[in-house]
A and B are shown apart, each in its own frame.
Chain A
């Protein structure tokens, strides 16, 4: 099971997810805006074209699984899940509130459809690798895939490279990792805080196939995943170049939007930008 939207529909969906993210974060009064916005295209492609799942049966045994490693961007996942029908969209507005299933950082036990609990950075890849190991070697099931979404800042964590070495050794070919390469972390540019480059070379040297894409082009996301699925002798990592805060011009490229939410005025302005963008998607504006 799964949905297969076309490119135009996926772009619309990504824009809707961005609007949800803005409204959720404004209502919550705290949260991480930049990464949640810039991952919208990837999440749109994953939930509305790539992954097999059944929102009415989140533990469906033939599902593909998605581990979110940079848990602070979970608003984008909640929005995608609500759009996909895992729960009603109204619930999005409970984000970060007492008693909500939508915790500030994702908790698997709270919300069916999540595959892991994350927030402390650097541990998602190894959990995904454990799952992929199980599929490949223990259950010998080849039609399911394991996706993990990581931030670029979290690549500072040693745990990531332990997992990279592990997945490389065991040639976990059903493991497909995304890196949200938006070049920011809390204290500034990733290359100032702790340089990551040569990022492609690093992953290749750990035994991974590396694909670099424009993370805002849903067609590229789908193509990259198709390529990754076709590679059966090593894990694949998709380095998705993104613009932090994508879709809202006054947030774009500004690392200060990493860990703050918009106030009502900013949210209003952001939604205006996004609705304008939606109109441009309709008219097929190639400049987007």
Chain B
């Protein structure tokens, strides 16, 4: 049953756009208003990860750690032991890129409700190049026991996700994108940690996306509709815990699955879905994302095209996939 409320201009060329990180900034400030135990730490990237809104509202609850990511997350662990709910924010390339062991040991194994915020994730960072384009964070964080992994699809959802992890009492990772991203959800759209959402129904193929890729799948699905392929779009903002039920239900219905993410498919959403399907419902699968490659410098849209992540490229890939793979007919 598709009860998801899409924005009225979700398919329009004039769809409203905003960086996903902006929603995090607003959400963090709201979380701070709701709970004085919320504190924010940043490693010299306060404005670019949008922690400045919180800092301006609650200067006494903001902690500058300098360019020291190992210290960033371990100080957060200590604050959590003292009863606080710390949000430790940096660029994903360094948090969790540089401090993964500290996150694993002092936050996840230690069961502290500290929040790790990975800003500027994905190739959309653009000209900064491969060193700053974090593509392995989903895999790195997903594999840690006791860690919640959330990848919002737009800024409105990012705000809700921020409030949700602020009160979930668990170690959590939130992945944010720098680039302006079309807003497909609305204030009324549902968001719950651990839930995936069918944004558009279809029966020929399931397009399962996360983060900035979800809107691209919606556009691809509407183009595919015009050539007679009815694609179902499943948005997966929580990579862990994965909503097995929603993904399996869609896979059972369509008999073909495509995943899309702005990350390494190995270990990422593609990896998670491959694990799920191969164990519980073997289904033809195509994974779209970075395939064992590093990013490189370029403008964000050039890079999406270079790595085959535009809606038009997705349409072509899905078309080929649907034509080459027989549909798995199952009772449903």
Q: Do A and B bind each other?
A: yes
- A residues lining the B interface (CB < 8 Å): 65, 67, 107-109, 115-120, 122-123, 126-135, 137-139, 158-159, 162-163, 165-166, 169
- B71 — which chain A residues lie within 8 A by C-beta? 126, 129, 159, 162-163, 165-166
Q: Given A123-B102, A127-B75, A130-B75: A116 and B81 within 8 A (CB)?
A: yes
Cα separation A117 to B101 with both chains bound (whole Å): 12
Contacts A/B (CB < 8 Å), 20 sampled: A107-B109, A109-B110, A109-B111, A116-B77, A118-B106, A123-B106, A126-B71, A126-B78, A127-B75, A130-B79, A131-B78, A133-B78, A133-B79, A134-B83, A139-B83, A159-B70, A159-B102, A162-B65, A163-B71, A166-B71
Q: Given A109-B110, A138-B60: A126 and B84 within 8 A (CB)?
A: no
Closest 4 CB pairs of A and B: A130-B78, A134-B82, A162-B71, A126-B74
CB distance from B82 to the nearest CB of A (A): 4
- A159 — which chain B residues lie within 8 A by C-beta? 70-71, 74, 102
Q: Would B105 and A123 count as touching, CB distance under 8 A?
A: yes
Shortest Cβ distance from B68 into A: residue:
A162
Q: Would A131 and B105 count as touching, CB distance under 8 A?
A: no
Shortest Cβ distance from A107 into B: residue:
B109
Q: Would A117 and B82 count as touching, CB distance under 8 A?
A: no
Q: Would A163 and B110 count as touching, CB distance under 8 A?
A: no
- B residues lining the A interface (CB < 8 Å): 39, 60-61, 63, 65-66, 68, 70-71, 74-84, 86, 101-102, 105-106, 109-111
Q: Would A166 and B109 count as touching, CB distance under 8 A?
A: no
Cα separation A139 to B61 with both chains bound (whole Å): 11
Q: Would B105 and A134 count as touching, CB distance under 8 A?
A: no
Q: Would A116 and B110 count as touching, CB distance under 8 A?
A: yes
Q: Would B109 and A117 count as touching, CB distance under 8 A?
A: yes
Q: Would B70 and A115 count as touching, CB distance under 8 A?
A: no
- A65 — which chain B residues lie within 8 A by C-beta? 81
* 17 more CB-based (< 8 A) A-B contacts, given A108-B81, A127-B78: A107-B110, A109-B111, A116-B81, A117-B109, A118-B106, A127-B77, A128-B78, A129-B75, A130-B74, A130-B78, A134-B83, A139-B83, A159-B74, A162-B66, A162-B71, A166-B71, A166-B75
- A123 — which chain B residues lie within 8 A by C-beta? 70, 74, 77, 102, 105-106
Interface of B is mostly: helix
Shortest Cβ distance from B108 into A: residue:
A117
Shortest Cβ distance from A146 into B: residue:
B78
Q: Would B82 and A120 count as touching, CB distance under 8 A?
A: no
- B63 — which chain A residues lie within 8 A by C-beta? 133
Q: Would B61 and A138 count as touching, CB distance under 8 A?
A: yes
Q: Would A134 and B84 count as touching, CB distance under 8 A?
A: yes
Q: Give which listed residue, B75, B80, B81, contacts A163 with CB less than 8 A.
A: B75
CB distance from B104 to the nearest CB of A (A): 9
Give the most central of A107, A115, A163: most B CB within 10 Å: A163
Cα separation A177 to B106 with both chains bound (whole Å): 18
Q: Give which listed residue, B39, B68, B80, B101, contacts A120 with CB less than 8 A.
A: B101
CB distance from A161 to the nearest CB of B (A): 9
Cα separation A138 to B111 with both chains bound (whole Å): 22
Cα separation A155 to B123 with both chains bound (whole Å): 36
Cα separation A120 to B102 with both chains bound (whole Å): 8
- B106 — which chain A residues lie within 8 A by C-beta? 116-118, 123, 127
Shortest Cβ distance from B84 into A: residue:
A134
- B83 — which chain A residues lie within 8 A by C-beta? 134, 139
Q: Give which listed residue, B61, B79, B81, contacts A115 with CB less than 8 A.
A: B81
Q: Given A123-B74, A127-B74, A127-B75: A166 and B68 within 8 A (CB)?
A: yes
Shortest Cβ distance from B110 into A: residue:
A117
Q: Would A165 and B66 count as touching, CB distance under 8 A?
A: yes
CB distance from B102 to the nearest CB of A (A): 5
Cα separation A122 to B68 with both chains bound (whole Å): 13
Cα separation A135 to B68 with both chains bound (whole Å): 22
Cα separation A118 to B112 with both chains bound (whole Å): 13
Q: Would A120 and B105 count as touching, CB distance under 8 A?
A: yes
Q: Would A166 and B105 count as touching, CB distance under 8 A?
A: no
Give the most central of B68, B82, B109, B110: most A CB within 10 Å: B82
- A132 — which chain B residues lie within 8 A by C-beta? 78
- A120 — which chain B residues lie within 8 A by C-beta? 101-102, 105
Cα separation A248 to B77 with both chains bound (whole Å): 37
Give the most central of A123, A129, A135: most B CB within 10 Å: A123
Cα separation A108 to B81 with both chains bound (whole Å): 10
Cα separation A97 to B80 with both chains bound (whole Å): 29
Cα separation A165 to B75 with both chains bound (whole Å): 12
